[in-house]
């Protein structure tokens, strides 16, 4: 089950979950996300990576769509939705912390990420 704030307006800090709504999603969404973001280089040190870049992108995109507007809110969204997210992602290491999310995005090539996101949206996702 996917929980979203559907009250309208800006969510208050930590106010991610309001009403239960089911949003079925095809596994194709994750595949297309991987396809469109496949060109984004992972800048992290390979031996120190606990969370695949795709997981970070998927959790962040879903969190932002549910009105999470900072890294702590995206982490809170991920923790609240871990069961739902695990249908689409391998979350063996759990949900990335807000520090991991922020640090990873700070290291990314913004042009590569922006182009991948734009391509994904234009493909109708």
| 16: pLDDT strictly greater than 80 | no
How much is the pTM?
0.77
- In our burial notation (b when 16+ CB lie closer than 10 A, e otherwise), range 49-79 reads eebbbbbbbbbbbbbeebbbeebbbbbbbbe
Share of the chain above pLDDT 90, in %: 59
Say how far apart CA 57 and CA 70 lie, in whole Å: 14
Say how far apart CA 125 and CA 120 lie, in whole Å: 6
Q: What is the pLDDT of residues 80-115, one digit of tens each?
A: 999 999 989 999 999 999 999 999 999 999 999 999
Q: What is the pLDDT of residue 104?
A: 97
């Amino acid at each position: 089950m996917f929980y979203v704030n559907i009250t309208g307006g800006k969510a208050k800090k930590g106010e991610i979950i309001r009403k239960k709504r089911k949003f079925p999603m095809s596994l194709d969404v994750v595949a297309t996300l991987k396809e469109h973001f496949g060109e984004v280089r992972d800048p992290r040190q390979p031996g120190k990576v606990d969370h695949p870049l795709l997981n970070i992108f998927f959790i962040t995109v879903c969190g932002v769509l549910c009105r999470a507007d900072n890294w702590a809110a995206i982490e809170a969204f991920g923790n609240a939705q871990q069961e739902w997210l695990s249908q689409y992602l391998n979350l063996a290491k759990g949900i990335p912390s807000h520090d991991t999310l922020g640090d990873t995005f700070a290291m990314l090539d913004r042009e590569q990420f922006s182009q991948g996101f734009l391509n994904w949206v234009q493909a109708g996702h």
